Chain A
Amino acid sequence: MARRHTPRIPGLGLRPGRLGLIDILRESYRSVFRDLARSLLAALGTLLGCAAFVATLGLTGTASHQVSSQFDARRATEVSVTAAPPTDPSDADTALAQWYTPASVARADTISGVLHGGRISIASAVSYRRLFLPESDPVPVDSYGVDDGALAAIAPKVIAGRTFDSGHVKRADSVVMLSKTVADRLGIAAPGPAIFVGDTGLTVIGIYADVNREPGAQGALLLPITFLERSEAFRGAQIARKILLETAPGAATQVGDQAAVAVAPTNPSSVTIVAPPDPLTLRQAVEGSVTLLSLVVSVVILLIGAISIASTTAVRVVLRTPEIGLRRALGARRVDIFWQLVGESAGIGLLGGAAGALAGTVVTIVVSVANHWVPIIDPTAPLLAVAAGIVAGILAGIHPGIRATKISPARALTR
């Protein structure tokens, strides 16, 4: 396009003609940006495509970050150790005695990445009564016997009274913390009174509203594991046992790999480890599938945008036939007309891409703020959108550009 052509006719003193890149850009700029409203209309398809591209990528990134940060905070930092189904049922108690011990927990605590660890014994549907009266209605409640390590991992949010501590656990004190749900069912508004399992009383020392882990404890009660395991009151109840480990973010997978050996070194197969999937892998999988989908959608919209530019440019070629004739009369070669139209089409693509990138960014921010999320916008997405707009514009300008070169200047000037 910028190549000089030197006329070979002698005696006419012709200068080599030249339409440089700067001239093409200047002419394209004047044609596109001096008639901004019409150009924006022509760029509408590209604008929508690029906006969809940036917004989908931005919202995907933002939502994934949101999901993964919640995931990290709760599920991704939790490893459970439970009994594996025994090959011989008579061995179950022996195995339990080996892995369900304070020493096992102490060994698990030494694994790098473990923040808290403890034992949990869950007695299902134990009947509690508010008063020591046989005729009062019993309330069936799951009872979580926990040690101080498990209590720290569960982290109940106390709204009245206090939690029990390692002293209570050591002494097997008959104290209990009620979830708000259970407290309401038993008609207890504040710590102080006792509740009864059979004829065994427990003093309510705290009421909690929420838990960080063990969602089952949300509608249950917590008491020292030593009391639950030793008291006659729970003797007939079905008890499930597990060791709960709270890990540092990102350490759960590695902790899960080492937990079996740490907890049951002589017989690691006697336990089952439940660790969450690697959050990074999960996030990448989620992001990957959503991003692919959004990219496909955006490319389709961009294609529609390119077709819209092509059709608008084709219409502009028809409307601007006299101008093309004038330019030809002023010395423009066919190739000059072609490059100018491609340049204009690229300018419209640039306009659509830039406006679309801006719109997509605004949409991402507005949606994020409305949902109280932190907007995550990859800076390459708007740049990619602008580049895609330009490429779409260039491709869209080729066919109308070729058509424009075929316009006869003499005929064009009579229109």
Chain B
Amino acid sequence: MAIVGPSGSGKSTLLNLLGLLDVPTSGTYSLAGVDISSCTEAERCSIRGQKFGFVFQAFHLLPQRSVVENVELAMVYSGIPARDRRARAEGSLARLGLGHRVLADPRDLSGGERQRTAIARALCLEPEVLFCDEPTGNLDSKNSRAVMETLFGLNDLGQTLVMVTHDMALAAQLSRVVHVEDGHLASAGSPF
């Protein structure tokens, strides 16, 4: 699913609400039949950490940590034993074509590699939904293409994507597009 709309329309706010990074001030959000507003903070954290993955425009990779340690970070808060984290992180990086960069400093990676590292971090817990907020916003066209090919490839394999983008051409490649304007859903449905 793509969330599109003009700047300031509320695309990222909608993504944050869906991803439980924010709580709605009005309305209800039901997940698996449970009203999220009835959940505790700890429960929302568990859902975020174990069922959702996030990819941000700014990558948010930690400096002073290797690529694989950045990916391992996703498992620190999810009850994965420390002894299993390294193997899962390396598997996730290999899946994204970064098997040769596991010990690299993120600052030495290209923009595309950084974003693929962030995607590997989001995917290592096999989330049911992958939330992407302008994942190519900081990339040049070549790296953008590579990252989108990666995301579309995952989508083809059954990974649910919820992606905020202002690029209508990209949005058109997803199965559902939601238009947001002035904080309201202007339209929702198939791009075709």
Q: Using CB atoms and an 8 Å cutoff, list the residues of chain A in contact with chain B.
A: 4-5, 7-12, 14-19, 22-23, 26-27, 30-31, 34-35, 322-323, 325-334, 336, 408-410, 413-414
Contacts and interface: CB of A to CB of B under 8 A. Distances in A.
A75 to B, nearest CB: 61
A354 B65 CA distance: 24
Nearest to A16: B79
A414 B79 CA distance: 27
B82 A14 contact: no
Contacts of B76: 19, 23, 27, 330, 332
A12 B12 CA distance: 25
A17 B77 CA distance: 6
Contacts of B32: 9-12
A413 to B, nearest CB: 6
Interface string B3-26: 000000000110010010110000
Nearest to B54: A329
A81 B10 CA distance: 100
Contacts of B22: 408-410
Interface in B36-85: 39, 41-43, 45-51, 54, 56, 58, 60, 62, 64-65, 69, 73-74, 76-79, 82
B33 interface: yes
Q: Name the residue in A5, A15, A330 with the highest tally of chain B Cβ atoms < 10 Å from its Cβ.
A: A330
Contacts of A17: 42, 45-46, 49-50, 77-79
A7 B46 contact: yes
Contacts of A22: 82
B60 A413 contact: yes
A336 B51 CA distance: 19
A331 B78 contact: yes
A334 B40 CA distance: 12
Nearest to A33: B64
Given A7-B46, A323-B60, A330-B49, 13 more contacts: A9-B39, A22-B82, A26-B82, A35-B64, A326-B73, A327-B73, A327-B77, A332-B77, A333-B41, A334-B41, A409-B22, A410-B13, A413-B21
Contacts of A328: 21, 45, 48
A379 to B, nearest CB: 34
16 contacts: A5-B46, A9-B34, A14-B51, A26-B82, A35-B64, A323-B62, A326-B73, A328-B21, A330-B121, A331-B46, A331-B48, A332-B49, A332-B76, A333-B42, A409-B21, A410-B16
Nearest to A24: B76
B47 A14 contact: yes
A27 to B, nearest CB: 7
Nearest to A34: B64
Contacts of A8: 43
Contact of B58 (A7, A10, A322, A410): A322
A11 B12 CA distance: 28
A398 B51 CA distance: 31
Contacts of B58: 322, 413
Contacts of B133: 413
A282 B13 CA distance: 74
Given A19-B76, A30-B69, A14 B21 contact: no
Nearest to A329: B54
B122 to A, nearest CB: 9
Contacts of B12: 410, 414
Contact of A12 (B45, B47, B62): B47
Contacts of B74: 330-331
Nearest to A15: B79
A155 to B, nearest CB: 68
B51 A12 contact: yes
Given A329-B21, A329-B54, A30 B65 contact: yes
A363 B42 CA distance: 50
Nearest to A23: B76
A14 B39 CA distance: 13
Nearest to A415: B58
A306 B45 CA distance: 32
A31 B74 CA distance: 16
A192 B161 CA distance: 115
A326 to B, nearest CB: 4
A15 B78 contact: yes
Contact of A322 (B45, B60, B69): B60
B50 A331 contact: yes
Contacts of A410: 12-13, 16, 21-22
Contacts of B60: 322-323, 325-326, 413
B40 to A, nearest CB: 8
A9 to B, nearest CB: 5
A9 B50 contact: no
Contacts of B65: 30, 34
B44 to A, nearest CB: 9
Contacts of A408: 22
B21 A7 contact: no
A339 to B, nearest CB: 12
B50 to A, nearest CB: 6
A329 B78 CA distance: 11
B45 A333 contact: yes
A4 B39 CA distance: 16
Contacts of B77: 17, 19, 327, 330-333, 336
